Amino acid sequence: MRIFLFLLIGCFSQHSFAEKLLILGDSLSAAYGMQQHEGWAHLLQHNTHWQLINASISGETTAGGLARLPALLTQHKPDAVLIELGGNDGLRGFPVATAKSNLNEIISLVKQHNATPVLMQIRIPPNYGPRYVQQFSAIYPQLAEQQQVTLWPFFMDNIATNSELMLPDGIHPNQAAQPLISEFVGKLLADLAPE
């Protein structure tokens, strides 16, 4: 009996997290091109007291994330949600207004479930034209101000320009970049206080 209780207590202590963070992202957070345990979210789990729930899917759009979110919120009941979406909308040339509307609904839905939304700035390559790129990038600070939510800087800003940290497609971070992203997000996460 004593052994059983010891094992039970040990099991709880190993999995005792203060808060849950749901990561709603695309291939940048889904360990694209590598094993899941090599991705930044998995690496970060070992260096934070947060319980990370990575619900990221390669190819995900803001519409797809919005459609999946209600079930994820009900299932996981997170304390905070990191919204890392929009890149695929931009790469496919979707209307800026549509992406902004979807992100706005995602933020509102997270709030309705008493969780803290965290919006990550997303950028797209400059070859999509300066006007579209500028309008797209502006979505994120605009929504952060309107919805009064935390805006995190894009974790790819210092990685996308380094070919040694990118896959041959020039869009996705490689395995060498994952620890750097993990460290970057970990520092931001350390300052996040859920409502």
pLDDT (tens digit per residue) in 89-119: 999 999 999 999 999 999 999 999 999 999 9
CATH number for the domain spanning 110: value is 3.40.50.1110
CA angle (82, 88, 90) in 5-degree steps: 105
Q: Is residue 22 in a domain?
A: yes
Residue-level pLDDT at 18: 73
Residue-level pLDDT at 5: 39
Q: Is residue 8 in a domain?
A: no
pLDDT band at 127 (very low <50, low <70, confident <90, very high): confident
Whole-model pTM: value is 0.90
Kindly list the distances between the CA atom of residue 139 and the CA atoms of 57, 97, 102, 128, 148, in Å, as whole numbers in the listed order: 22, 9, 11, 16, 14
Q: How many domains does the chain have?
A: 1
Residue-level pLDDT at 16: 54
Q: Is 27 a catalytic residue?
A: yes
Q: Is residue 184 in a domain?
A: yes
Q: Is 191 a catalytic residue?
A: no
**Tokens 């299932």 map to which residue?**
75
Residue 195 pLDDT more than 80?
no
The two tokens of residue 132 are: 């579209």
Q: Is residue 174 in a domain?
A: yes
Each residue's pLDDT tens digit, 135-193: 999 999 999 999 999 999 999 999 999 999 999 999 999 999 999 999 999 999 999 97
Q: Is 169 a catalytic residue?
A: yes
Percent of the chain whose pLDDT exceeds 70: 91
Catalytic choice (15, 16, 46, 169): 169
Q: Is residue 11 in a domain?
A: no
Catalytic choice (27, 29, 137, 182): 27
Q: Is residue 173 in a domain?
A: yes
The two tokens of residue 119 are: 């919006």
The span from the CA of 192 to the CA of 187, in Å, is 9
Residue 59 pLDDT more than 70?
yes
Residue 113: domain span: 17-190
Q: Is residue 68 in a domain?
A: yes
Q: Is residue 5 in a domain?
A: no
Catalytic choice (26, 29, 172, 182): 172
